[in-house]
Amino acid sequence: MKRLFYVFIMCMSVLVVNAQVVEKTFADLKNEGNAAIKIKDYPKALDLYEQALLKWGDKPVADTSMIYNMGICGISAKNYEKALKYFDQAILMNYKKVNSLLYKAEVYRLTKNDAESLKTLQSALTISPEDVKVKGKLASYYVKEATVFYSKGSEIMTKVNEQITAGKLKTGEEQKLAEKQAVEAFKKALPLVEKALGYDANNATAKQLKSACEAAIKG
């Protein structure tokens, strides 16, 4: 009987130990998430952080850095919905607000929501008008927009030149019409280039675009 009692006690001890090992605290899960970030396993880190939040329950979250890291994990893991969710939370918590807005703008850029990307960048600029990173991102945004029009004009001019070489343009009027369309595209690109340079006067791509557009307009 004594022997059976000892066996029972040992079994219970094993169960208690196992229960203690399985049951992880908020701090345990957060630390594991931090470790996963260090080895760039962002999906795992995000999962661990979210498990930590479940442990935290309905209490207001005070760990602002973890929420911010969750946004970074989301964007790095290409889980853009969750990235937006956690960067929005970081913004509301006023934690690294400008950086959070920059990341949020990047999520919108990656998901091809240019209007929201611009709106978010402008919000960041309002908070920090002289921030070089914000102004650089805005310059890049307008360079991209200008490039669309410049590429359209260049494509028209290339096609015209190919047709001239091949003898396919029958009248000078056709050539003039095509050249006019190309010039209009270059003219639309210029104000966008100027905006880019307004944010970053040293943006090399914007400078090149401006010179190319002006030369093409002059003919």
- State how far the Cα of 115 lies from the Cα of 122, in Å rounded to an integer: 11
Confidence of residue 13 (pLDDT cuts 50, 70, 90): low
When the pLDDT of each residue in the chain is averaged and rounded to a whole number, the result is: 89
Q: Same domain, yes or no, for 120 and 26?
A: yes
What percent of the chain has pLDDT above 70? 89
- Note whether 60 and 125 are same-domain residues: yes
Is there a single domain that holds both residue 103 and residue 201? no
Q: How far is CA 175 from the centre of its chain?
A: 42
Question: Residues 48, 119: one domain?
Answer: yes
Q: Are residues 103 and 57 in the same domain?
A: yes
Under a CB-based contact definition with an 8 Å cutoff, are residues 120 and 127 in contact?
no
Asked whether residue 23 falls in the same domain as residue 93, the answer is yes
Mean pLDDT for the stretch of residues 1-7 = 49
Residues 121 and 25 in one domain: yes
**Residue 157 and residue 175 share a domain:** yes
Identify the residue with better confidence: 10 or 39. Answer: 39
Segment 82-105, tens digit of pLDDT: 999 999 999 999 999 999 999 999
Domain contains 172 = yes
Query: Among the three residues 129, 146, 181, which one is the final residue of a domain in this structure?
Result: 129
List alpha helices for 23-63, DSSP H. 26-38, 42-56
At residue 210, the pLDDT reads: 96
The whole domain housing 25 covers 19-129
The pLDDT, as a whole number, for residue 3 is 55
Mark whether 112 and 175 lie in a shared domain: no
**Residue 107's CB: how many other CB atoms inside 10 A?**
23
Say whether both 68 and 162 belong to one domain.
Answer: no
For position 7, what pLDDT does the model report?
46
Residue-wise pLDDT tens digits, 117-170: 999 999 999 999 999 999 999 999 999 999 999 999 999 988 888 877 777 766
| pLDDT interval class at 59 (50, 70, 90) | confident
Using only C-alpha atoms, the chain has a radius of gyration, in whole angstroms, of: 29
Number of domains in the chain: 2
| One domain, residues 95 and 181 | no
The half-sphere exposure of 98 on its side-chain side, counting CA atoms within 13 A, is 13
Indicate the pLDDT class of residue 71, thresholds 50, 70 and 90. Answer: very high
Work out the average pLDDT over 41-63: 91
From CA 178, how far away is CA 199, in angstroms rounded?
33
The structure's pTM equals: 0.83
CATH code of the domain containing 124: 1.25.40.10
User: Looking at the domain assignment, is residue 64 inside a domain?
Assistant: yes
Residue 163 lies in a domain: yes
pLDDT at 5 over 50: no
Measured between alpha carbons, how far is 28 from 77 in angstroms, rounded to an integer?
A: 22
The pair of three-digit structure tokens given for residue 34, joined into one six-digit string? 């931090």
Same-domain status, 91 and 167? no
Which two tokens mark 137? 């991102």
